Amino acid sequence: MPQADSEQRSPWWFLPLVALLFFGLLGTRSLNEPDEGRYAEIAREMVETGNWLVPHIWYVPHLDKPPFTYWAVATSLSIFGVNEWAVRLPLALAGLSAAWATFLFVRSLAGAAAARASALVLGTSALYWVMARMLTTDIFLTQFIAWAIYFFWRSWRSLDALGEGSQTSEVSSQKSDAKEEVADPIGDARARAARRSFGWQLAAWTAMAGGVLTKGPIALVIPLAAFGALLVWRRHTSGARLSVLLFGALAGVPLFAVLALPWFWLVWESVPHSFEFMVKGQIVGHAVQAAAKNRAQPFWFFGPVLLVGFLPWTLLLGWLWRRAHWRSLDARTQEGWLLLSVWAGVTFVLFSINRAKLPHYILPMFPALAALLALRWPAFRVAASDPARPSEPTPPAELATGAPSWVWRVLPAAALVPLIAFPLACWFAFKVRESLWVRVMPLGAAMLLLAVWWEGRKWSPRSRVAWAAGLALFALLTLGAVVPLVETEMRSNQTLKPLGLALRQEAREGDLIVVRLRIPQGLPFYAHPVISATRRPFLSGLPEHRMPFEFPGNGARFGDRVMRDDRTFSNVLAGPQRVLVVGYKGSLVNARPLARGKQLRLLAEVGEWELFTNQ
């Protein structure tokens, strides 16, 4: 088979491996608090109430984020029912979508083998794999940024044909002297190139509109900064190219406005105080309120996050940017390399200077890093394209500007680090020590790591890349299988599923339900219909500056469902009506003096939550 045909045909294992990466064990884990429970419950309430315009949680407005994430999950719930698999299916599709955009970008520069390598590197990086099955807005934002930058890249590359016209204009004019009417294939090609570029630019603005509807203006900033850096780098490009780009921007901005802004306008018009809350509170005040929301972190916070989150490929990042490598690139690849580097760098810097920090905020830079790795070393391209040749020695010339040999040797071993780190975190941080797997897994993983390290002495970089990808997939799927064993022990990130099921089992017609001290954000997802739009619980002792009261007017929307002081709660506990209390840890002890001698009975204890009754 010719090399070109072999290059374009994917190995038989590639698509099944990608499917396993993104869809394996997708619905086995329950929803974790607070993010997954909150986002899933907002989507479920959209389906229940039919209100897809204004996001609600606990049946009051919640406008912390734009609606795309809720819309995606609500659509899935409408089709597949209310379950964890349906919640996470849009996440897996978004993760796969960003990997596809990365694949196409790399293929345009280095061929299908490098493109497959980039998709596998991205899918097996630890943080990306986790966030492609954990419900937050970040994987959707990553998808839209990846597509926007890819579309801008295609728009730029479509204009390459414009450079050919000046070189052949004299020839065309000489021919026109000989014939009164002469076909102009060069002019036709330029017109087609301009139309293609224009279309790709509109696609980029559409993707950015989706990103803004997911997480706000950051979806504009990163792609425009990356593409702007490319324009500055090629600032002496032809006037015809710049004219097409300017025309595309003039059309793209109105398209973006038509797609992205109507939702904001409708919400601001229909919900009082929503403009002040969303613009001043969420966009302008996000960094200022970081400490209040437990998100304030030092500027270097994302350094360790990147080191751990990009495992097993982290060490190779230290040898990505080298002058000798840059000089070896042709002009086209230099442009792609610059675009990817600015994409990654701007993302890292922007989130680092912001006071509000959570580990998954830097996820949008991961596709760029995966693409850079695949472009940087031939070992990735060969390992991804021909698994039958993983042990073939790599020619020294291929690694002349690469990383040291010890870095390649560490790759397979690094893939097993999560299998050691997670059980240790369970042991020391979550105090989970009774389960046998918590003791056995670190030892087994350490032994396997040592074996891989020892045997890896004989492997070439190609072999080590293949082993690293395979072991990373094994480690991540293993963690996906064991996390459900401790999902109620993960403190503030625990699941509320057993609590919701217990509430559904215990609740009877006529019972009064009270939520005490803290809001269990995702509880209605599992407790419905015991908690519903027509059967809302009473709230007692909740902080007035936190969800669900943080949005202006929500306290009034709950009305008499808010118990203003402990005296009201005491009267309810001591009264004749059966009361079910969902309380944060310590609620039962705190409530006993308020029951005025009435015996309180514990019905269920799930992690940091309690369910008890006065009868």
- List pLDDT tens digits, range 23-55: 999 999 999 999 999 999 999 999 999 999 999
Does residue 493 contact residue 520 with C-beta atoms inside 8 Å? Answer: no
pLDDT above 70 covers a percentage of the chain that reads 89
Q: What is the pTM of this model?
A: 0.93
Lowest mean pLDDT among 75-89, 137-151, 546-560: 546-560
CA distances 290 to 222, 295, 355, 506, Å, are 22, 5, 6, 39
Does residue 531 contact residue 513 with C-beta atoms inside 8 Å? Answer: yes
The tokens describing 568, both together, are 């009201």
Q: Is the pLDDT of residue 392 over 60?
A: no
pLDDT digits (tens, 9 = 90+) for 97-148: 999 999 999 999 999 999 999 999 999 999 999 999 999 999 999 999 999 9
The tokens describing 167, both together, are 């070189």
The C-alpha atoms of residue 9 and residue 241 are separated, in whole angstroms, by 34
What is the per-residue pLDDT for 382? 58
Q: Is the pLDDT of residue 400 over 50?
A: no
In residues, how long is the chain? 615
What is the per-residue pLDDT for 177? 46
- 513 forms beta bridges with 580
pLDDT digits (tens, 9 = 90+) for 210-261: 999 999 999 999 999 999 999 999 888 777 888 999 999 999 999 999 999 9
In the three-class reduction of DSSP (H, G, I as helix; E, B as strand; rest coil), residue 52 is classed as coil
Helix axes 378-385, 461-482, angle to 10 degrees: 70
What is the per-residue pLDDT for 40? 98
Mean pLDDT of 500-525: 96
Task: Tell me whether strands 56-57 and 609-613 are parallel, antiparallel or unpaired.
Answer: unpaired
- Amino acid letter for position 559: G
Residue-range domain boundaries for the chain: 93-165+187-269+300-376, 386-487, 496-613
Task: Tell me whether strands 538-540 and 562-563 are parallel, antiparallel or unpaired.
Answer: parallel
- 453 forms beta bridges with none
The C-alpha atoms of residue 11 and residue 204 are separated, in whole angstroms, by 31
What is the per-residue pLDDT for 356? 87
Q: Is the pLDDT of residue 397 over 50?
A: no
